[in-house]
């Protein structure tokens, strides 16, 4: 029987209601004990990494999770499941996909409904995640198993705030689907991120949104405060307001790397429009295009790249080496 280690971090899946609202009250052993069917899928081991709602997690917490995955792989497990809050699960899973060289699949899961709520979805999601981690076709990479779909960490996003069908992969679609006959693959499971030689995120990166009539004060304050890098959540294919576009030029001249991502649900940035703040003009200022990576993931990648490399060209190369939308061929 496959060995699977469950790493618990808290989140809604471990939460019950209380006077101050839902908070984590169940540990990993409790979660596993609530799903007796798991005994037929894998030999489980449980380890607690932390006990937090995901919007409380720090970069240090996620680095500790990465180290726990490495230990599990060294111990010879066949797969790892991470129970995690849904709000930042896509960021933590992408972080792991970037930094982990473990030759085991790392499957994140969680719940939209607390454990003591009628219709709680945590048990079914945990069973799906363990089945995925125990499947011999999954040998590496980070995934989110949720609502009968398995998504690659590189592409997945939380598309729905409260509904049980929380996640989608707008550009690529899911890797697999859990059906009545088992896990049906849509494409070969693998890591779909280019690894970075870092575990700790030590660089400070600010995310700056652009939108109707947004001025440059937030960006300028970040540069004055000594930020290590900036990610623009730009409109459309990478356009900003004229004020932000001009401030970007000053930031790049000051030696601050600036990555441009689109705030759109899918699609990539492209250098098309001229004039102040236009995507071509912003590119000509020396910014780094994020391609189809969303701003919140571009922030993780830029922070880890700046933590790993001293040379700015190496940081740019890290974004240029991103993998494109996968095919089923």
Q: Known catalytic residues?
A: 12
DSSP 264: S
Helix (H) or strand (E) holding 253: helix 242-253
Of 185, 99, 93, nearest to 143 by C-alpha is: 93
DSSP 132: H
- The answer for 104, left when phi > 0, alpha when psi is -120 to 50, beta otherwise, is beta
Interatomic CA distance for residues 268 and 233, integer angstroms: 12
Location of structure tokens 């499941």:
81
Of 154, 135, 190, nearest to 290 by C-alpha is: 154
Find the farthest-apart pair of alpha carbons in the chain and give their distance in angstroms, rounded: 62
Bridge partners (DSSP) listed for residue 234: 262
């Amino acid at each position: 029987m496959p060995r699977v280690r469950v790493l618990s971090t808290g989140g809604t899946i471990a939460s019950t209601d209380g006077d101050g609202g839902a908070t984590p009250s169940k540990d990993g052993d409790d979660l596993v004990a609530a799903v007796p069917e798991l005994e037929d899928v894998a030999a489980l081991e449980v380890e607690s990494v932390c006990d937090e709602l995901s919007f409380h997690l720090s970069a240090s917490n996620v680095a500790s999770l990465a180290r726990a995955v490495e230990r599990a792989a060294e111990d010879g497990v066949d797969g790892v499941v991470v129970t995690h809050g849904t709000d930042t699960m896509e960021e933590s899973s992408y972080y792991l996909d970037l930094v982990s060289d473990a030759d085991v699949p790392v499957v994140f899961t969680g719940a939209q409904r607390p454990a003591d709520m009628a219709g709680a979805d945590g048990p079914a999601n945990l069973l799906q995640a363990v089945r995925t981690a125990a499947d011999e076709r999954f040998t590496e990479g980070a995934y989110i198993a949720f609502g009968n779909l398995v998504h690659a960490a590189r592409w997945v996003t939380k598309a729905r705030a409260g509904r049980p069908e929380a996640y989608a992969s707008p550009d690529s679609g899911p890797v697999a689907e859990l059906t009545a006959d088992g896990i049906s693959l849509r494409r070969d499971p693998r890591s779909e991120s280019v690894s970075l030689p870092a575990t700790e995120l030590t660089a400070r990166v600010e995310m700056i949104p652009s939108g109707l009539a947004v001025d440059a004060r937030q960006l300028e304050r970040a540069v004055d405060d000594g930020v290590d890098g900036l990610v623009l959540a730009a409109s459309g294919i990478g356009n900003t307001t004229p004020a932000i576009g001009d401030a970007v030029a000053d930031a790049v001249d000051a030696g601050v790397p600036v990555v441009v991502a689109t705030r759109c649900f899918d699609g990539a940035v492209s250098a098309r429009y001229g004039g102040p703040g236009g995507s071509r003009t912003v590119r000509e200022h020396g910014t780094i295009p994020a391609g189809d990576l969303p701003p919140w993931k571009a922030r993780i990648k830029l922070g880890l790249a700046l933590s790993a490399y001293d040379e700015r060209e190496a940081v740019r190369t890290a974004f240029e080496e991103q993998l494109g939308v996968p095919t089923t061929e």
